[in-house]
Structure 1
Amino acid sequence: MRLRRSRCLTCYWHDGAFVVHPHPHGAPTELHPAAAEILAAFEDWTTPGEAAARLGHLTPDTVDEAVATLVRSGALLARGGAAARRDEEIADRWGAWMPEASFFHYATQDLYDSPPAGDPPGDDEAGAPAPLPPLFTGHPDAPRLLLPRGPAGLGAPFERVLYDRRTHRDFTGEPVPVETLASLLATVFGPVDFIDCGRGALYRRTSPQGGSRQEIDAYVGVLGVSGLSPGWYHYDGLQHALELLSEGLTPEEAAHLCADQAWAARPAFLVVLAARLERMSVKYPTPRAYRVCLLDAGHLGQTFALTATALGLGPSQTGAFRDSAIAGRCGLDGTGHTPLYVLAAGHPAPEPRDAPPQAGIPAFGSTTLLAR
């Protein structure tokens, strides 16, 4: 029988043990670190005897025992088997995204682990509930500006807002009034009401958020807002205030922070969505919950885009940014408090330079709409 190492395979250390974790067809298995050397002998289709010959410093019995364990775990696959065919298909489909993206996707698939009975998440060894993280993030020593609380000005018909929403990459450069920014931040990131979760209060926003944990904070990079100096601010939803974290922000820096995308120099402001992971993990101690953090950022991004459109602004968003540099400018530690998404808005240019043309007959003629 010829065997090959799974292409969808990740090895790591966890709790002092070396773990071999094939995905999605296998199970994480704790092994001796020498398993990595044995796996390397099966880079291509190989018999156990051929592998043992290459591993002359190991006895054939040791190699046979390890091979049996690696086959059971799914780390070694038999030639011609269904698991090997699927492994090749996944490796081909995910391509350049492997191994990081495919491992995260499949390793958190189909499972939603719960803590053992009688051991609620966040409880200490004595069984007493651990204190919940603060609902809001604050920077009490930072200079702050209390924002106006006037009407939001969201009277535009929903149908018009929904169909007018577009991603804008070109802006007029005209400053956005601070009142407009205040309305946008309050509508998207401010609390709507408070609920009793059984262990204290939680609050809800205008976007759905997993378990109402509200783990996403908003940090505002101001480029052109009337009444505000350029710089990085944290939006304090409890006080409806902006806290100045670092002064100065140029269009050139904004573009650089957004992975050197030229359009990011043009909006009036950026909004970084950053997750405080302990707010989510204290209730959901499962790796799959990180998916929820990403979904929550998307929910907020959509509400931001619709609200900005209703306020007459042109919204934009990007997942391409320099994580460490943005974390530094926003005062994030980059570990338990980390950026996930960058939004932006400004007055849209009446004739955008970067707008794509409408699709015509030539475009549809070169497009496959349905599989045959």
Structure 2
Amino acid sequence: MSLTRSAAEGPMDPPGRPARRVSMADVARRAGVSAQTVSRVSNGHPSVVGSTREQVLTAMRELGYRPNSAARALKYGQFRTIGVILFTLSSVGNSRTLEAIVDQAAEEGYAITLIPVAVPTRDGVLGAFTRLGELAVDAVIVIMEIHLLDAATVSLPAGVPVVVVDSDADDRYTVVDTDQIDGARQAVRHLLDLGHRTVWHVAGPEESFAAERRATAWRTELEKARRPVPPLSRGDWSAESGYRAGLVLAEEPDCTAVFAANDQMALGLLRAFHEKGKVVPRDISVVGFDDIPDSGSFVPPLTTVHQDFTEVGRRCVERVVRQVRSEPVEPGTTLVPTRLVLRDSTAEPSA
């Protein structure tokens, strides 16, 4: 049996010889376009019309073509890749922010290289930054909700475009974050406006920048209203930690309203109050923070502060890409607004 292969079908090497890498010229022949058009499609250039782009992409898939990122970087000075350094994916905020960054990067024609920080220590962060220097990335987005980036001994490599999410990086870097303070303020103000004498708080972990901002806003809003400031409860973002805090708060006779620093801990509160015979919101009102997709399905549906993770991700990518393009981007913090979503877990205090 003989095998034949036309030139249009792509390269074929003699038996026993390793197949050569499919070239841009091979793709151009298969698609019936110029090599320059293939290059533009490969680099995400917007000037290629849709039908031609689809022809080229089909040829790439059929031939198994993979762009040579090293050669492309030498020619264009870019790898079209953004590194993302992050501490953990276990928190809802981090995972949803990363998802938004990936989606927006794809829109801009960039891939993402994930660089996790295995150990939440200064050395762990420095190790991630060291690995960054070994990878083919044009820029980096840092999702670091703990204060390690604030240490004077920790800094990113010079000359690398950087955007930071959820960290107190001062004016050293461009920072994009949810307006944590205003979101917490809205939650506390809502409960006070309903007529509650004060608001108890289940905070996130002490090392978290977001938890610190939300707890500070809670305390400030109560002091501004000249209301008593109850003892702060401390959780770790998990529903289990909210549950443990709820078992204690259910025994406090003056506790009629609780602001939880995230929706998962609020879920734990709801379970604890139910087990202790407290009816939400008749006996105790509860407000969360995040507006996770399931928060409207809690029992009762949770009043919570909505974070726009999609907008945070979009702004991160937009600002870091502008830096890659040598467009001016001022350091400092950009805050994405929050809004209070009213559901059935809050009400006026019972007489």
Global fold match (TM > 0.5): no
TM-score by length of structure 2 reads: 0.26
In terms of fraction of residues, the more helix-rich structure is 2
TM-score, with structure 1 as normaliser: 0.25
* Higher strand residue share: 1
